[in-house]
Structure 1
Amino acid sequence: MRRRGVLTLAALGPAAAAGAEAPVAEPPPGAALPLDLRLRDAAGHGLTPGEALDGLPALFAFADYDCAALCGTALGLAAATLPGTGLRPGRDYRLVVLGLDPDDGPAKAAAMRRAWLGEGTALAETARFLAGPATALARAEAALGYRALRQGDAILHPLALFALRADGGLAAMLPELGTTPAALRSALQAAARPNGMGVIERVELLCQGLAAGHAGAVQGALAFGGVSTLALLGGGLLLLRRRERRA
């Protein structure tokens, strides 16, 4: 089993300078997540994005299910921020996550959801963590202008949150780290309006998961305002989750 445990947080600019195949999140005009993708949920049941949204706007993210240190932390921070919006999961919106590695199936999707959303809450019960084959992932990425770079066991990808309308159309895109409750609320409210468009921010944070054994610490510069604080907060969130599992 492959495990990716070392992460790099970097600016998009230097990554883009390395070549045309740099990771990027640049949604095209009219971007929309295809609703007919054949995916599976964390229980292993077949589920399309249309079924996952179930007529609601959604906060959507791509994630590497093997990457707990940053992908998990980013999802945990988003989950911790959502209650501040005043919106109700399962009634006003859904949280939908799609794994980036076709080899990561429902079991890893379930483990990521349980580790960072816990159990028994409205958000945990209504969130949809999905897995799918390479063809479906490629369609999803292309439709949203999202490109992850795969190099062996490594997946370098932008940390982005997409606010989607019930029809899959993109209403807003926000950075996965540093997003405020007000920004999330505005994006989800825009997604609840037909053809509503929110603010699309340029996403410049990248997450790179590497094979275990390359190094033992989080590397790179946290060069963006507030990100250092959020990274420390995310580390505390991870420790709290570990303590909860030991209790």
Structure 2
Amino acid sequence: MRYAINYTPSAGDPLTLAAAQWLGRNPFSGEAMEPPATRDLGLHEIAFNTAVPRRYGFHGTLKPPFRLADGIAEPLLLRNLMHFAGQHERVRLPKLEVVRLGNRFALGPCEHSEALHLLAGAVVQHFDAFRAPLTEAELERADPGHLSAAQFANLYRFGHPHVMDEFRFHMTLTGPLGPQEIGRFEKVLRRHFEPFLERPLEIANLALFVENEPGAPFLVHSLHPLGSVMSRKIA
């Protein structure tokens, strides 16, 4: 079993529902969903090119997937996550936009947020004590020979290359696309998501995702509101 600490909007948020439709699966219920009908892409093209993000569910990674260390049980992780969330304030972003990351698409902030960067770093550091060390097979799959020096150090220190100064918040929408597909996917993604991206985004919770067995789809286990009860009432 693996866990991940992410951000995802609440189950009823319009962005959650739009992303679940696009990816073909609701990460809260596990329910399969039909991709949006569009004349620019076939349903099979959408399904094929969203297979990887569909398994992980709509989310922005804060603490990448990890196995629990020996002697750590789920209730202890949950208690610590609840306490940690209560000690850290919500983060407000101007808004998200459809962004291209190499040959993939995601939703990302329209500008850098230092508050979000600091929150992600705090999550990685605090919960590293709950993470089992990577196995040799896991290290090999990370392909350390192709990492920068900073990414290599992160992999061995925190179990993942793209954390701390290498972190970039994003919510993945596709797997890798071929050159002939990028333009068509970008057009459809903007049309599908932009109506839901007009308002600012508030990172209001930490979401615990769970992979029950290797290769199984990740599901939202629980949402943990950021900020003390008093500060949330004032907000």
Please indicate, yes or no, whether the TM-score normalized by the shorter chain is above 0.5. no
TM-score w.r.t. structure 1 length?
0.30
Higher helix proportion (structure 1 or 2): 2
